[in-house]
Each structure stands twice: as C-alpha cells, then as structure tokens.
Copies of this chain bind each other. A is one copy, B any other.
C-alpha cells in the first residue's frame, strides 16, 4: 500500500500516513517544492483521502552550494512546498533540515480519519475499468530536457523531436508533476472506486502489478492504452528504448492515480475530471483522465497488451490541448491493433 493505516485507540479512527523524499529533478526550485509536496500527498489521495491534517517537510541543503545560491534556492523550494500544501487544504507545521552533499526534498503527510473517508485499495472486480489521471513520460521529458545541453545525447534524438517540442514536453511534465491528485481522490468516492494507487518510481506497470497483487478477488489488470506526453514515445524509441516507456516501467514522479472504477462509472469519472479541469482553467489544476484498461478474472497480475494504443497528450497551452484530449469515449473492450 502507498500509506500505512494504523488503527487508533480512539473511536474507530485510523491514522493514515506516508512519507517520501527525493532529489530535485526540475530546475525551477519553486516548482520542485510543489512537486515534492504533490508527490507526498499523492499517497493519501490514492486512498481516496482528500484531507490532510498535518505535513512535515524534510530538507537537506547542499553543502556544495555557496551561501548566495542557498539563500536564493531553498526559500523558493520551501515556498513551493508550502503553497502546494495549502492548495491541499493543509499546512506544514514542522520538519527537519540537514546539510548534505545533495539537495533532498520531501515530507510526511498524516491524517486521522474515519473508515468512510478512505478506500482500501483491494476491491477490484472483473469488469472494472482502469483510469489513469495523468499522462506518462515525465522521466523521459526531464531527461530529454537535460540532453539539450549534451550534444552526444541530443544527436540521438534530434531526428524525431525539435528543441521546442522538448521544452514544451518538459514544461508539461513539470506542471503535471506539480498537480495534486486531490480532485481525483474526491471523485473516487463519488463514483465508487474499488481501488487505486499512484504511479511513481516503478512506472505504470510496476504499480499496476502491486495493486493487482493486493486485490481480494482473483483479478488481473489488462492495460490497452497508454496516454503519454507528446513525442516522448518517439524519443524513448530513438534512444534504444532505454526508458522502457511503452513497456510501462519508465519511472514517473508524482504521477497520476490509477483507479479501478465500476464499468458504468468510469466514463462519468473521466467526464467530471474533464469538466472540473476546464472549470479550473485547464488540465493543469486537476489532471486529466484516460480509460486505459480493464479488470479481468486472473492471477493478480497486471500486463500491457501487445501494441497498446499510444495516446499522444499534447502539452497544455498548445493548440491540440485546447481540443478534447480526455479519452473518455474509448471503448475499453476494443483491442486496438
């Protein structure tokens, strides 16, 4: 599970909490703070929990930065983290900071809640539909962006992508990682989700496998569609498939929720994600939603079909993004070939 759920000594309540910390992966310290916070909270959201009672921040300041850089960078990172916490309806009340060779940023999110407030991620049944709420490809985008400065690397991918496209994809990845999965968590209750997880370091397939393994029923997750930030599939192929993006194991940071929904609710979930997104001024605020597969009877594993359909997700702000990019109308039973 993404969180630990601890039964408390008081009134049937449970303490749900989670921690995460990692190293910066985008250049903008403010956005990095937001991403770190979104990543921590995401574990709560994956359990359908929309509230958070408290956050702690974990920081290490790099000893290799000079004082001027530190004073510039660290307050911005802290500010980004705090702003995202506030957007999540919570606040940061404590934490710990150390000096270290590398910068580390992360936190702890805790909430005390009644059983009705969270959805144990073990209720998938055959016939359920799998929905993903952010596009894949953040790792590829972040790496490709670094390669703009590394001619040897850049030469390998420049035939399939322009510098402009890489920059747009990087921006898209950055905003996507900084997006809270809170709206999706709320809709999990409204549309009776049976289970969910968030997609992070093990990639879509890794987390789908973990989720499948802990189901009460004998089910298997079959993934047909892969929504991926535009051009990232081409880059991944051009560099010898080193990310295993289409195989589903490319690491994501602060990825979307993978939600198992009753068949009759999935389209409504997607459509409400989309309308809340539009109301909030675009996909940025709440994430998107794509039907990516189905739940069958099986041996508690997940797999991606041969030749899955790649859904190229255009960067927000681009012309294509202003059209409908939520694949709510895909028939999860149609096997694209």
Residues of B within 8 A of A94 (CB): 3-4, 17-19
Across the interface, A13 reaches (CB within 8 A) one of B10, B22, B108, namely B10
Across the interface, A8 reaches (CB within 8 A) one of B3, B53, B58, namely B53
Chain B nearest Cβ from A300, distance in angstroms? 22
Residues of B within 8 A of A6 (CB): 53-54, 93
* Interface-side segment among A96-104, A132-140, A255-263: A96-104
Residues of B within 8 A of A96 (CB): 19-21, 106
A25 within 8 A of B: no
Chain B nearest Cβ from A331, distance in angstroms? 39
Interface contact A15-B98, CB-CB below 8 Å: no
Residues of B within 8 A of A9 (CB): 51, 53, 112
A interface residues, tally (CB under 8 Å):
36
Interface contact B18-A15, CB-CB below 8 Å: no
Q: How long is the Cα–Cα vector from A9 to B52 in the complex, in angstroms? A: 11
Residues of B within 8 A of A23 (CB): 98
Mask, A1-33, CB within 8 Å of B = 1, is 001101011110101011111110000000000
A interface residue numbers (CB < 8 A to B): 3-4, 6, 8-11, 13, 15, 17-23, 51, 53-54, 56, 58, 60, 93-96, 98, 100-102, 104, 106, 108, 110, 112, 114
| A-B residue pairs, 8 tightest by C-beta | A4-B93, A101-B101, A4-B94, A6-B54, A19-B56, A108-B108, A8-B112, A19-B96
